[in-house]
Structure 1
Amino acid sequence: MAWRYFLLLSGWFLCVVAASTASYAQPTTPLAAPPAGQQATLELGRSSFPVNEYFTIAFRLSGAPLERYSAFPDIEGFKKSGKTSTTTTRTVGGRSSVELVLTQRYAAFAEGEFVLKPFSLTVNGQQLRSAGATLRVLPQAAAGTPPPAAAGPPPAGKQPLVGIGNLDQLLGKPKPQEYVEPRDNAFLSVEPDRASAWVGEPVHVGLYFYLAPADQGLLDFYRFAEQLPPILRQLRQPTAWEEAFDETDIRPDSVRVGGKPYLRYQLHETVYYPLSARALTFPRVALQMKKYRLAKRPIEGDDNRLEGYKTYFSQPRTVQVRALPPVPAGAAPAAVGRYQLREGVGSTSFRTGHTISYTLTVEGEGNLTALAPPEPRPVPGLEVYGPEVHLELTRADGRVTGRKVLRYRLVPRQPGRLRLRDVLRVPVFHPDRGRYDTLRPELELAVTGPAVTPPQEVTAFVRTDPFYAQQLASADATLMDMDTPRQVKRYANLVLALLLALAGIGWWTARR
């Protein structure tokens, strides 16, 4: 009976571990809501067709423009053979509606019966589901044979037709489709937002791909996720602090370059803070794109384009970096940026001997991460503790802004007016003005109450108290192992192994 209890105990232990592990499961991220008014449906082609014809999967979209869609499913025994898109614009009563049909074609490798498993396709955040189908690929249809000639001679006055050859002999063999490569107006560009900067001044650098609206059907991105990391390694600056923006979906915005309209795709953006007077140099980088060649004689129902590749190169860029002016004698190192101060206190009345919670916030545009908290200046009758530092950064619209919150604890010992500008100062260098400045608090606190002398040191109290003196004399000075988590894990594994061993012994005993 004992082994049964051990089995029950070990099973309960494993269930508890599994339940605690499962409690850390993360919820799945919900899909983005589709645009209002959007209507999308899935359409499957014929399930029975000859081997020389395509099977198709398409979705029909209306009520919203196509922004994004997931990949079409793979079908065992078939290969994908290009996409076709059809856009239909209908105008009824002065109102226009656009319907898009995007079709993926599949070519069968051989005859037989194949299974299209259930799948889903996401279009602009809307999920379309299909229950799948059974596909029957039939033999290629044989060419029709002419009916047998009637027996006997032809009627009087009518001569039989004389064959002079097949269509290839009459018209010649069909020529292969010819493709041409149209000229495009696309280009790759690395763009700093300024040509020169001070040491520590933010420099925004964007990597953009420009495309003329008329060339949208000619170009497409090719393995961009694999090409981007090597490009960023080439653009990285060893003498600058880097604040990279989060990667987002590549979506175009409309701009004008040289008076001409373009679609600009932002591939990456970063803000650099130069740490020395060495110039920032951005070399020429390359991006390979898909470029399609178009058919000379388009055929209705065909894709009418041939996939190829083209590499685009950016122009090298340089940003000159200027050294900061000499720091005034006796001044602390300044933070470079466009900053302002905000301050606050935790109460409205202030008494001697009581703690005052004071918050100093430095906010604006600059390298707030590298901004050092100001050292409190000694003021008679005031004790300053802290600060506790909290940093918030916002990366948006090509700028890195934020705020650095410094929380101090002030303990006044004497009554009177407490001017915080005499306690804390933040030296800065304003890059637009090209000069140093000092940000000072403006609050003045009226402290009331009698003068309070600081308490004696805690060490002196411990040494003079007989209880603590006795305890310290008899205390063990041996160092203790502080690696508690590892020890607990080791003991837990040992207990688990022991339970499993006892369960195995009980099972073996029961079988005997």
Structure 2
Amino acid sequence: MFFKISLLKYCLLFFLGLIALHLPAQDLKIELGENRLPITEYFTISVKLQNASIKTISDFPEIEGFQKSSRPRSRSRITVAGKTTVEETITQNYAALKEGTYTLKPFTIKVNGKEITSKGTSITIQTELLTDEPVNPPPKESPALITGKTPGKGKSESFLTLETSKGRVYVGEGLQVQLFFYLSAAEQGLLDFYNFGEQMPALIKNIKPHNVWEEESANAEIKTDTILVKGKSYIRFKLYESVYYPLSAEFIRFPALALTMLQRPKDQTYNLAPTQQELVPFVSNFKNVAVEALAPHPLREIIPVGQFQLREGANSTVVRVNKSFTYFFEVTGSGNLTAINLPDTLSAPGLEIYPPQTEQFRNTINPRAGRKTFRYTLLARKPGKYNLSHSFYLPFFNPVTERYDTLRSALTVQVSGAPEPEKSLKPEEADSFYRLIQSADNDLQNINQIQEIKLYTNLVILLLICATLYIFFKK
């Protein structure tokens, strides 16, 4: 009987061991970016988890001299020798505020309830190196599509390309940037991503120019679709997407980017040794986008740029004196919604206007489009007819018409009723507290007087205790 139970235990342990061997290992690690870099580039901290999803993660550390920026999230599939590993990466970007040497102290991050520690590092931020590149318009761009080459096996039909929504924009106008990899249907199963989670942070860092404000897409997942290019079918992978808003009238320059892919020989199985597979670089086109300055305007440094429309409304346009009502001013369209703010000095005699509640919604399909709503509470103080166009308006620059325009309220509010007479309030006549003030002694008192009394009292008590002890022990 004992022998049977022992045998059953050993069999159970054996099968559990086999199951454990086939379960993918969950590897969690922290990777720090380059610790010596120009001020125009991000310092990065990446958390990587293999064969599992990052469901919960604590805050990344604060670094003195840096400001937290975007935090992209990516998921990649790595296949080596027929073994596939899924890796999820969350990267926190840090923008340096000025040049110098900074210290990232040891820190701990909790991922899915498990803590992982980094020893930190020293970070050196340098001034961006100057080049002899002319300020004149750059030379003509390279061809739109540059295909990767496989040594000795001709050209690949797949390609990597960087696409922009426009070739010329105004300062403050949104520029959508997307990085795609087009996989030829004929090469499906022959090409696979190689160390994608490690390559993407470097690619993203090289894409972002220094003279823009960035609004990253809320959805950082890789999306695929099927598309025809010159009559050939491709599977298109959207690797990266963002919207840039130029801060100055300088060319936005996107360098050529390189993505290394893993290629298998044709007519071979997936179970190949690493030495039988080949790493193939795919190089994208470089691209330059011209940026034009806005026409002279007193507010052109802060004025929003885009195509905007106005939606407005009020819960009532006929109001009694001393009654409040709600008014909303909603801006819809395409542009930098974050930069939109209505004038702070809203004047409307007879109407009290309170600070607004602000809501912003970004279109997930088109990240440059959305809406921003300002919801105000107004209190009617005097009767009359009030035209809200003098109080609620938004000047902006339209890049399509290339002209300045203004969104202005068209609502009129009618306030009726008799205004209440202003009362001369004398609080000292109505409240006994104020009468007490008039009869109170206004002589100056030493603020330390109470502390001095406490000190002397404690000394007397101490002397009495000492005298009592002396008499007790003397007896």
Q: Which residue of 1 aligns with 2:61?
A: none
Q: Which runs of 5+ in 1 are unaligned?
A: 1-46, 48-54, 58-69, 73-79, 85-101, 103-178, 479-512
1:200 and 2:200 matched: no
Q: Which residue of 2 aligns with 1:91?
A: none
Aligned residues of 2:178 and 2:241 also touching (Cα < 8 A): yes
Aligned residue type for 1:421: S
Residue 289 of structure 2 corresponds to 319
Pick from 246, 263, 271: which aligns with 1:274?
Answer: 246
Instruction: Find the partner of 1:400 among 365, 368, 371.
Output: 368
Q: Deviations over 1:472-508 (max 9, x none)?
A: 999xxx9xxxxxxxxxxxxxxxxxxxxxxxxxxxxxx
Distance 2:235 2:203 in 1: 21
Structure 1 pair 464/310, CA: closer, same or farther in 2 (3 Å)? farther
Q: Which residue of 2 aligns with 1:373?
A: 342
* Alignment deviations for residues 283-310 of structure 1 (CA, whole Å, 9 cap, x no partner): 1111111011236xx79x9869931111
Does the aligned pair in 1 maintain the 2:342–2:393 contact within 8 Å? no
| SS of alignment partner, residue 294 of structure 1 | coil
Tell me what 1:307 maps to: 277
Distance 1:414 1:245 in 2: 47
* Aligned counterparts of 1:393 and 1:455: Cα–Cα separation in 2: 49
The one-letter code sitting in structure 2 at the alignment partner of 1:205 is V
TM-score by length of structure 1 reads 0.52
1:425 paired with 2:393, answer yes
Establish whether residue 231 from structure 1 lines up as the match of residue 203 from structure 2.
yes
TM-superposed CA distance for 1:223, in Å, is: 1.1
Show the 5 A alignment for 1:57-136: 82-83=81-82
Query: Matched residue of 2:200: which SS?
Result: helix
* Amino acid paired to 2:402: G
**Is the partner of 2:433 in helix, strand or coil?**
helix
Task: Give the match's secondary structure for 1:278.
Answer: coil
Aligned to 1:356: 325
**Given the alignment of the two structures, is residue 467 of structure 1 paired with residue 437 of structure 2, yes or no?**
no
Give the Cα separation in 2 of the matches to 1:310 and 1:331. Answer: 48
Query: One-letter code of the match for 2:159?
Result: F
Rg (Cα) greater in structure = 1
Mapped to 2, the partners of 1:471 and 1:183 lie a distance apart of 95
CA separation of 1:370 and 1:463: change in aligned 2, threshold 3 A: farther
CA distance in 1, matches of 2:238, 2:322: 57
Q: How far has the Cα of 1:373 moved from its partner?
A: 2.2
TM-score, normalised via structure 2 length: 0.56
1:222 equivalent to 2:194? Answer yes
Contact 2:173–2:245 (Cα < 8 Å) also in 1:
yes
Say if 1:182 and 1:294, in contact at 8 Å, map to a contact too.
no
Distance in structure 2 (CA, Å) of the matches to 1:288 and 1:468: 82
**Matched-pair contact (CA < 8 Å) for 1:413–1:453:** no
Residue pair 2:82, 2:271 contacting (<8 A) in 1 also: no
Name which of 407, 424, 438 aligns with 2:406: 438
- Could you tell me how far apart the structure 2 residues matched to 1:180 and 1:284 are? 23
Q: Closer, same or farther in 2 for the Cα pair 1:260/1:461, shift >3 Å?
A: farther
Give SS of 1:293's match: coil
- Residues 297-342 of structure 1, C-alpha deviations (whole Å, 9 max, x = no match): x79x986993111111111111101111111x68995321111111
Gaps of 5+ in 2: 1-13, 15-20, 24-49, 53-78, 85-150, 448-475
**Aligned partners of 1:375 and 1:424 also within 8 Å:** no
Any idea what SS the aligned residue of 2:244 has? strand
Deviation string, structure 1 residues 32-68 (Cα, Å, up to 9, x no partner)? xxxxxxxxxxxxxxx9xxxxxxx999xxxxxxxxxxx
Residues 222, 239 of structure 2: 8 Å contact kept? yes
Structure 1: distance between partners of 2:300 and 2:435: 47
- The share of aligned pairs that are identical, in percent, is 34
SS of the residue corresponding to residue 273 of structure 1 reads strand
* Equivalent residue letter for 1:338: Q
Distance 1:378 1:404, change over 3 A: same
Distance 1:463 1:236 in 2: 69
